Amino acid sequence: MAHVRSVTGVTAHILKPDKLPGFISIMALGDVPTTGWTHIRLSPWFYIVPPADGMWDFDMIGDEPMGFVGQVILPVSAHTVVPAPDWCKGVRIHAATNKIAARLESLPVTTAEFREPKAAGKGNVIVRRNLASYDDSIQPTGATRFDPWPHFEMKKLHHNLVLIVEGPDEAHILDCINKAIAAGLLAAIVAACATLGAALPAAISAFMKALGLCLGAGFTVKVEDQSHWVYWWT
């Protein structure tokens, strides 16, 4: 195992269910220098004396690849839920080249909503292609179980971005899509997914603008966000 290349973003939320000790939900974003990394995770530091600044340190690590790999910087993420010590005011995540700290924020138990994807419009859908996927809206559902320690049910919203192009010429559509990919516009969408969607609107807009200019009149281009909830227990 080894540290990831760098950490790029951190959030830390305090969860306080009724009549139970507090727990901390930590989400960290980072990147690795090659393909093939697996089991990205957050490893906590343990102290004889708690740190004076109240910041709990974690290493963002993963299992390094073996054999041939691609030399490319790729985004990664890790999530963990840990019991909250009384002294903890925030977390600090360490990578190979940097570290980022985040103060604890209160996270109420809420139910997020999302809009159902619309059905494809009338006409012949020539091409339907998956562009990228990402997760956001990580939050507790409010459910707890004991065996004998408390475990909290969590959920996240999984997004799958689907490109749908309608028009009279399939060959022309495929050619324009390949040109947009070659220009790095699809790679920009994939990279934007590492921001949990924050940078996606601009990346998708650039992709669709380039595709629309290439296709010309008589074609319809849209990207559907087909989303569903994923549940798990801590």
Residue 118: count other Cβ atoms within 10 Å of its Cβ. 8
- Check: CB of residue 99 under 8 Å from CB of residue 77: no
Domain count, the chain: 2
113 domain residue, yes or no = no
Do 92 and 129 belong to one domain? no
120 domain residue, yes or no = no
pTM: 0.51
Do 102 and 129 belong to one domain? no
119 domain residue, yes or no = no
More confident: 115 or 57: 57
If you average pLDDT over residues 5-19, what whole number do you get?
76
If you average pLDDT over residues 5-16, what whole number do you get?
83
Do 132 and 101 belong to one domain? no
Report the distance separating Cα 86 and Cα 47, nearest Å: 13
Q: Kindly tell me if the per-residue pLDDT of 51 is higher than 50.
A: yes
Q: pLDDT value at position 110?
A: 34
Taking only the tens place, the pLDDT of each residue in 35-48 is 888 888 899 999 99
Do 81 and 51 belong to one domain? yes
75, 106, 137 - which closes a domain: 106
Do 193 and 102 belong to one domain? no
179 domain residue, yes or no = yes
136 domain residue, yes or no = yes
106, 139, 161 - which closes a domain: 106
More confident: 163 or 152: 163
Three-class DSSP labels, the chain = CEECCEEEEEEEEEECCCCCCCEEEEEEEEEECCCCCEEEEEEECCCCCCCCCCEEEEEEEEECCCCCCCCCCEEEEEEEEEECCCCCCEEEEECCCCEEEEECEECCCCCCCCCCCCCCCCCCEEEEEEEEEEEEEEEEEEEEEECCCEEEEEEEEEEEEEEEEECCCHHHHHHHHHHHHHCCHHHHHHHHHCCCCCCHHHHHHHHHHHHHHHHCCCCEEEEEEEEEEEEEEC
Report the distance separating Cα 114 and Cα 93, nearest Å: 31
Taking only the tens place, the pLDDT of each residue in 111-144 is 223 233 334 445 566 788 888 777 777 766 767 7
Taking only the tens place, the pLDDT of each residue in 174-213 is 888 888 877 777 767 766 665 555 667 777 888 888 888 8
197 domain residue, yes or no = yes
106, 140, 163 - which closes a domain: 106
Q: pLDDT value at position 116?
A: 34
Do 229 and 131 belong to one domain? yes
Do 134 and 227 belong to one domain? yes
Q: pLDDT value at position 95?
A: 95
Could you tell me what percent of the chain has a pLDDT over 90?
Answer: 18
Report the distance separating Cα 86 and Cα 88, nearest Å: 6
Domain carrying residue 12: 2-106
